[in-house]
Amino acid sequence: MSDQAKRTFSLLEAPKKHYGTLRNFVDGEWVEPQTDRYLDVEDPATGETIASVPCSTKADTDRAIQAAQDAFWDWRSTPPVVRARYMYKIRELLEKNFEELSRITTQEHGKAIDEARGETRRTVECVEVATGVTSLMMGYNLEDGAAKNIDETMVRQPLGVGACITPYNFPFMMTGFWWPYAIAAGNTFVIKQSHQTPITITRFFEILEDADLPDGVMNLVQGDRVVGDAILESPLVRAVGFIGSTPVAKQIYKRCGETGKRICANGGAKNFITVMPDAEIDRQISNMMASFFGCAGQRCLAASVLLAVGDVYDEIKEKFLAAAGALRTGPGLDESVNVGPVISAKHLASIHGYIETGIKEGADLLLDGRQVEVPGFEGGHYIAPTVFENCTPDMTICKDEIFGPVAMLARVKDLKEAISITNGTQFGNAASIYTTSGRSARTFWYEVDSGNIGVNLGVAAPVSYFPFAGMKESHFGSTHGQRDSFELFTDCKVVITRW
């Protein structure tokens, strides 16, 4: 199939041109928020408005939280095995609507369609893990634990109302880090998704109606910071999952600490990849491309700086540039596209600003993606893969999270220096090494201060039955996302009895 044929087919299969004015889902019903403030939702591929999202008020948010509180006891009293059956039903509904949800994600976010399918698949996997609630919620006991005829038992119980506040870059999956585990454990839930990408989660709630969950178990509130603040301020909300920038994550962590809320707050990242002289570059270069430029660099696991050890630098530079230059930039619904648009004109301008800063600070621009043209999509927010070399750790582009398809290349003398530079960042989200040496790999994962480590893969994304880890200023809280959410949204109760 020709590239043009692929594009025509993809666009014919595209989602709606406009989704109208979105609403909240509260206590089993679609409700109009009490607001006169609305924001446009844009298709990043075209720059066109595709929906209107309300800026819900504190009263709207409180209404959803109260509905969740009112539904809690009945849901909490539902046997875990019955809650698991609801999760199975939700999983089947997600599979049935898999392609539609993926295409909506691409339309509102911009990412390539295969990347959106991967996001939907990971959400389904989170639901699958949550079906194991009957095992994952088990406690433990000890007969005659303290003394004769005194038994001790630890049970794990749900907290009450849980909530998540999630960003634009994974409109569906990042809510899935929290809600499946929370409701399977017996909590009720309120979701606040980014106002830039609210359509996928809205469609999910329409699909969710067929699961026949009790009213109030799952609630959706559309809006901006006002909704997030109301969630954080409410005494009824017991635990919160958050993903966003480090400054906001740090602030939310502090606020939740002051009010006694459980919190898992994931922040920003600056991820380094080390390439050793023994790496199998020809086999792994496509994997590196996905790491640096997948989702147009808009993910917290994206690689940003490549550290090549010794003489391998010249080889990796040549092959990296050739592979990056061959990637196709365009609308994500085109099956042949590798790099979709970034989320907005404002964010595109920010990426351009970082490129200018890199040039001013002395880095050499080897590949400039700013002038990319996408015929027929002139209103979209496009930037092609961009590559710098002669980058040093003190440069802004090697310290700040750019959140775009911009790669920095640097030569280092040995593994020790690579680890030192990797650990020198304030962040600790992910780091990877390419090598055929078990010793180098073990030294790397043992010494690097990052929560997610990749060996011969560039996107160290844990599967859903592992926690989504993070260290330093990439994570605040005592638990992590995904499977760890069972701990976030439950508490231990120790029962000591004498009979």
Q: How far apart are CA 239 and CA 252, in angstroms?
A: 12
Residue 335's identity, in one-letter code, is E
The three-class DSSP label of residue 83 is helix
| Alpha-carbon separation of residue 361 from 355, 391, 395 (angstroms) | 10, 9, 7
256 belongs to the catalytic site: no
Q: How far apart are CA 434 and CA 276, in angstroms?
A: 6
| Cβ atoms of 307 and 273 closer than 8 Å | yes
| Cβ atoms of 358 and 407 closer than 8 Å | no
Residue that the structure tokens 């594009």 belong to: 7
**Which residue out of 126, 164, 295, 300 is catalytically annotated?**
300
By CB neighbour count within 10 A (0-12 exposed, 13-18 middle, 19+ buried), where does 4 fall? exposed
- The neighbouring-strand residues paired with 262 are 239
Q: How far apart are CA 123 and CA 158, in angstroms?
A: 22
| Cβ atoms of 474 and 451 closer than 8 Å | yes
| Cβ atoms of 467 and 481 closer than 8 Å | yes
> Which residues have C-beta within 8 Å of that of residue 133, sequence separation ≥ 6?
80, 83, 84, 87, 184, 185, 486
Q: How far apart are CA 387 and CA 407, in angstroms?
A: 5
Residue that the structure tokens 């200018």 belong to: 356
Q: In what order do the strands lie in the sheet with 188-193?
A: 29-31, 24-26, 218-220, 188-193, 161-166, 237-243, 262-266, 475-477
The C-alpha R_g of the chain, in whole angstroms, comes to 23
DSSP label of 484: T
The residues that are catalytic are 300
